[in-house]
Amino acid sequence: MPQRKGLENHTVGSGFVLLGFSDHSSLQGMCFTVFLVIYLAVLTGNSLIALITVVDSNLHSPMYFFLRNLSFLEICYTSVTLPKMLVGFLMKDGRISFLGCAAQLYFLVLFGSIECLLLAAMAYDRYTAICAPLHYSLLMSRGLCTRLMVGSWMVVVPVQVGQTYQVFTLPFCASHDIHHFFCDVPPLLELSCADTFWNHVMLYTIILAFVILPFSFIVISYIKIIRAILKIPSVLGRHKAFSTCSSHIVVVTLFYGSAIVAYLKQRSRDSVDTDKYLALFYTVVTPVFNPVIYSLRNTEVRIALKRLLWTK
């Protein structure tokens, strides 16, 4: 028992090293520039989406309420990982303190889990709008939307506090080099010299609750939505109904596709680079493309943006 305590103290003092993309040392300057531009694009694009859904009265509907929350989450999500990665590129130093790593992990899984639940709520909104249009205003009231968001935070916050505590009470007595560009559960568990069986049980339970079940709900919702759309007699009506869902489908595919593969596939030394590139999709690519996807595919958003940017 005293030995375990010593190991834990050693871990707290030394912290970790995020190796990230350090194997491409000659490209550090270019990577810094590219990811800086991406981060600024994420901040600008998602801030604009959030702003127009607040100031434009035509966008005060449940769909845009959820879109505003999604944009806020994307800003928070990328701010957990990209600034630290940019500092690493600039300083050529991937060191991160023990507490810094714990904070990064906590906020990453917190925002990621809430985004999964939010995407499921957005699917329910589209299902209600297309499959029960006469009852839409009743079923998707402002109170329900608020309760869905508040409820998501109330459920996820304590669960992810528990998972973070469980991970960071492990002794990390092997290498402290994390083969990733942010602190995540699987690579951290690989560094522990203790039995991580229950950590893996909790990890897969959380994945089931906050990833697989919401994704299954989204799939079932869209099966019913597609059936309802196919029953619409006019081609124009079918196209209009589908266009209201297409942006959400693209975002769900990008986010869930990469996240599910990254967390559920078997990890190995040969797959380290693959894991990092998959993580780029759900932590960087999806947040930067969300505003583009919603503005290009949504006429109301495009009109609201023009009013905001060109109104004197």
* pLDDT values of the chain reduced to their tens digit, one per residue, 312 residues: 333 443 344 444 578 999 877 666 667 788 899 999 999 999 999 999 999 999 988 889 999 999 999 999 999 989 999 999 999 888 888 899 999 999 999 999 999 999 999 999 999 999 999 999 999 989 999 999 999 999 999 999 999 999 999 999 999 876 788 888 899 999 899 898 889 999 999 999 999 999 999 999 999 999 999 999 998 888 888 888 888 888 889 889 888 887 887 777 666 555 667 778 888 888 888 888 888 888 776 778 888 888 877 764
pLDDT score for 3: 39
Q: Identify the helix (H) or strand (E) that includes residue 18.
A: strand 16-18
CATH numbers and ranges of domains, the chain = 2-310 (1.20.1070.10)
Token pair of 44 as six digits: 């600008």
Partners of residue 118 on adjacent β-strands: none
pLDDT score for 65: 95
Give the pairing of strands 95-96 and 177-178: unpaired
CA-CA distance, 191 to 194, in Å (whole number)?
Answer: 9
pLDDT score for 311: 62
pLDDT score for 170: 92
Give the pairing of strands 16-18 and 95-96: antiparallel
The torsion of the CA quartet 55, 285, 127, 72, rounded to 10 degrees, works out to -30
pLDDT tens digits, 149-199: 999 999 999 999 999 999 999 998 767 888 888 999 998 998 988 899 999
> Starting at the edge strand that comes first in sequence, how are the strands of the sheet with 177-178 ordered?
95-96, 16-18, 177-178
Backbone angles phi, psi at 203, to 5 degrees: -60, -50
